[in-house]
Structure 1
Amino acid sequence: MGVASPTRPPQAGEDIGEGTEYEGDYDTDIASLAPHKDALSAHDRESSLEENSLMSPFNDAPPNAPPPPPGPFASTPRAAPPPVPQSPPLPRRSTEMSRSVPSLPPPVPPPKENHDALFIQNPRKSEDVAESPVLDEPTPLAFDDARAISPPDRRVPPPVGARPRASVEMSRPSLSAPRRSIDHHRPSMDSGFIAGDIDLAVQSGWWKQSNQVPPVLQGRKDIYFECDESTTTNQGEQTMITRETFILFQDYSQTILTARYDPYDPSTVELDQRHEGPPKTMRQDQMEEAYDTFGRKISAAALAKKDQVVGDGSAPGFVLEMIRPLEDALLPISTRSYGALVYANMANASTQQHDAIRPGDIITIRNAKFQGKHGPMHAKYSAEVGKPDHVGIVAEWDGTKKKVRAWEQGRDGKKVKQESYKLDDLRSGEVKIWRVVSRSWVGWQKKALA
């Protein structure tokens, strides 16, 4: 039997009264669902609709409409198909074939809606229609390729109107500007010597007593001080006491304290302090003069004390007893300084010498370690001297061997005996040699002996 063709509404431009072809011609197993002419017309309209849909870069769907769901056999997105020639009509190509991307033509208005074309359209074509044309984008260059094209030192200019970036060097202080020392409160750092302002502690009343210093200096072993006192009367009505205290530090800078007060009303005290720097280094002729005045006498006195116990039996006590009898000699500042510096050796890393070492000079040794060889058999030895301080009187100096022989006591027994020190063997600590000088070197008056 023949298959009845579906009833089709009349199309525009067709003559309703015109006869149709015999249906028996299409009564076969491969008969089309539509008459032959109608099928060809529908095929042309479908191709035209498909071409316009694929060539248009715009989607017919509303802007906010979600994309249509993929078909049951949807695969990865594919490129848009090329335009189909309109004449002569060719068989439809499979949608599974790869398609190249055509150049974008000018927008074409969408065709009028055709119910017949939508009825026979392949359902899988909705996926193709919803697709937007895929454009080829340039492949980004690798890091090495980009570096080969662009020089390494190329800098991207800042955007127009952008503020220039402040340099990090702007926040750094200038190196040429003077830096304020963290020790600005220490007078010794500003003036270059030890003497400086001290706490006078008026409320303690130290200034009422002779041969006394402020509490901040009491008990210190690195100073030497003397006091002078005078009393004046103002026309027999008021008595004023003036006491001056001269304090010497180990660098021979000094502080002079002056106290003026009424002994009957100590609340009227006036305290003042001033400072003086160290004296100038002695010239060669002054060094020789000091040796002739004091050095020769000290050397002879030390030799006369051989095998005896002097003073309290200590090394500083022995040297002090050799200097004290000399008129106008400046007494030592504890165990730190004994006059003008002649020689200094800091662990053989730094040495200085201002004059030849002579008998009667004073040698001081602090925290020193000697290590080397001595004797005819060159036996090794190691000795530690001056823990913390040791002092003696030079008896002989051998400049060739750099060996000094000294009179001393208190290091190995209390009796005075002679020891030798090879200065080239000094491994740590310090060795200094001094020359006793007069009081006038620091500006003090000659003091009469008691």
Structure 2
Amino acid sequence: MDTNRKLIVHKDETTEQKIKENWGLVKRNVKLSDVVDPLIENGIITPDQWMDIKTRLVGEPEKMEEFLYILLKQNSKAFKVFKDALRATGFQHIADCMEGISNDKSYFQTKPDFKNRMINSENAEEKDDNGDQESADTVRRKDLDEMKQEIGDMLRSMEENLESGRKQDRDQLLSLQQEHKHLKLDYEKLQSQRFELSERMESLLKVVHKLNNRQEEKEREYLELKKSNIELKDDLMRQNLKHSKINNEKEKEMEELEKKLQKKIDEYESLQRTNEILKIDHEERLNRLRAINMVKVRLEGEQKEADAKLQALDRQAKEAEIKHGHEVSKLQSNIEGKSMRIEELEKDKSELAQRLSLAEKENEKLKSKIKKLEDAQRKTEDEKELLSIRLRQYDLQKSNSSMTKTQNSKGSSKRKPNHKPQQKQIKGEKEKET
């Protein structure tokens, strides 16, 4: 049974008794689909319960029996709603029977009253004399022939219904097999797409790994250039310090020479006699000063060259930094694009996984439906076997009754017939037959 049923503890015993007394009457004559709308509107059963009962591969009586079991577990208000629904849909007599207003259930008997026919024929035999017994036998035979024809028609209609049901089951099986094949093909396609996506993911990961390696190499090159630039700057600073020390020394020498020169001029003024000697010394000192000036000019030229080299190195360092910045930005943009692509692929992968799980669930549902159809087919075959067995039993009983009738007719020709025990025996046989 369904686990979603509403189990109400406070229920009325009288309503439960009424439902049990009219269980078979309601189950045989009422379809649940005819009265389900007011039941759902008043909350007697939920839409989920109705869909569960509706989709089951059983007959209408079994569906009504399922609903009666749900109604049996509910209160008297639900019973009242069910009776109102019966009246609203044209089942007034059944609602009266459930309330106890009418106990006449013969209104719903759809089978032919063969028993009454046989009783009428027996009454006709009691009233008639021995001369009318042949006409009674002919009436009995006609009734038996009619019964046989009606039973044969019923069996034919049942066989036709069974064959149509089998055809429908076969068609459903074929459609389910085709759907299963389509689902299998879809599943194989999804597996191939998943394999392709995994390969693409691996290739993208390799590309990202290569880009990371290239970025690391560029960073290493940048660090090496930076180190070389720092070393060049240190060398320039050292050279500048050396040149400044040399300039200071030269300036000191120049100051010393100027002092000496001043002294010599003083000596020249004081000592005119030694003028020639001083002139010679003075010329030599002038030559020295010229050499010193030449050295100074040369050092200044070297300093300018070093400054130009330093400026060129600064320019190269700046250009290298600008190039490195452009390459790093390009690499970052490429990495961001690849990461976005990887995220999209991961989303596609998750969607494909969801679709695959849905396809597996649908496959399982189709398998369960196929099993149910096979069970229904087995049930129909079992019912057909039971009907054939019942037909054989009926033929045997018919032959036995004909034998007893012939024996009774022979005995009545010799002596007066005692109709009462024969009538009782015939009634018992007819009850067995019905």
TM over 0.5: same fold?
no
TM-score tier by shorter-chain length is under 0.3
Which is richer in strand? 1
> What's the TM-score, normalizing by structure 1?
0.17
Which is richer in helix? 2
